[in-house]
Structure 1
Amino acid sequence: METRPANPVTATFEAHRDRLRAVAFRMLGSHADAEDVVQEAWMRLARQDAAAIENLAGWLTTVVGRISLDLLRSRGARPEQSFGDGISEVVVIDDSPEPEDHVALADSVGLALLVVLDSLGPSERVAFVLHDMFGVSFAEIGQILGKSADATKMIASRARRKVRTTDRPSASGRAQREVTQAFRAAAVGGDFEALLRVLDPDVRLTVDTPGGTFVTLGATEVAARAKMFSGEVARYQPVLVDDRPGYLSWNEHGTPVSLTSFTVSDNRIATIAILVDPARLAALDLPA
């Protein structure tokens, strides 16, 4: 049987799929969202006369950028969810004791950069990622943002300054774990002053429960709620949650009851995210 040649449009899209996925992931910080964006780009291409598109690679990058920008803006309109809607994509691995590959994972520069990118506004993030990471021209990015090339250049420059000046998580995975261990010891011991020493003054605590998401701001307020970190559990173990240090706790029946992750910056805890929703915990691939 004669083999039909592959559809040239499909072949071109597949040739660019990995790059498009990388672009979307850098902008969104979520593999699931990146996959959805690339799939949406493909569906939009299928509705076009591909032969009339002069630069298909550039067209696809523009479409991915616009879809990602819309997603970033819609996130800003919703309350922050510490573990996100795609809870099943969170990666949780054992971090006890210190396997060398886990240490390297915790020290990942790419993931540290994603944390920094979260400090940028939607337009800034799109401009920075597309230009500084993927070499897209300011004119092309301006088409996505609805701005002139000069205005887009200014947005990218502002984003670059923020990236350079924003405190990044500690470069040392070991140092991060030491900070979180000090926090847990202070919480279990009820040492209020020790808690304040390891908490950033503007620390943000987010607790995801079956009844919704609850946020507490400030070191004093978070330290006052430290009893939630020292509740009776059968056992706990250190884990990495998307490369952030944390703890996974079980009850006496061996059922996971909470997953806690920390973001450490300048040797202090900047954010704490706790998941206690049984249904969402059950959706995770957790260490045994």
Structure 2
Amino acid sequence: MSTNFDKALIMSGNDFKLTNSITLHHPIIDEILSLNNGFHSEEIYWQYVHSIMCDPYANMIMLDDLGKDFLKTSPFEVFLLQWENYQRDYQTNKQQYDLLGINPLQFIQAALNFFIVEEHNFELSKHEDGSPCLYDTNNAECQIDEDIFVYLYEWLKSINKIDYSNRIKPADENARRILIEDARDELKKQKRRNKKSEDSFEYIGNLMSAICFGGNGSITPFNIKSCSIYWLFEAYSVDNKKSHASHILDGLYHGTVSSKDIKTQELDWVN
């Protein structure tokens, strides 16, 4: 069974019933803006997304330090490594965490419960065959194994219109090592700069502004908070493709663009 979600389903804005106890949630803008009572809500949202997706490519340095090849590591394996790391951190600093009344795993639990309709309290366990899984302490039949996790991963990728097609694909081991070392160099530069861009967590906010005041008028400041997150990304994408096609047609009409230089798909802004 394919784990890819039909565009019609994603466009509907509906949630997706995955199992009897897990319904994947498609959040609306208002729900995202309500995180942490609105304070740094977008930053928290993207942290939720990345803490679940656990993309091996984005974690290639960490995996390399652990002696793992990011090309041979699945997102679920990275997710488990993250979960186990937080478990160890809690056990090592249990007294301090207990005094504060927190657990480092609470953030991942919150992320899972944000994108799953039903309320769950997951713990890490193993099946009888030794394969790892998460299970709900209040309902042992509710489990997230690698098969279920793939659906969750693809759901987040789809509703947030995340595209990895332009990533570098190393052809051999030498190319892989060079890619990792380049990533290490870039990380060192970021640490030296020691500050993040002021708009690094303003992507959704900027899209909201662009679509409301520069779009086709279907999404406005008065209804945008009720829009599903995918609609925001798709509205911006369609508007750009339609504008690009219009400029090409205008160039063809005025003779400033030659038809032989145009790809047919550039004019098909619907797809």
Give the TM-score band, short-chain normalised: under 0.3
Tell me which of the two structures has the higher relative contact order, counting C-alpha pairs closer than 8 angstroms and 6 or more residues apart.
2
Q: TM-score, normalised on structure 2?
A: 0.24
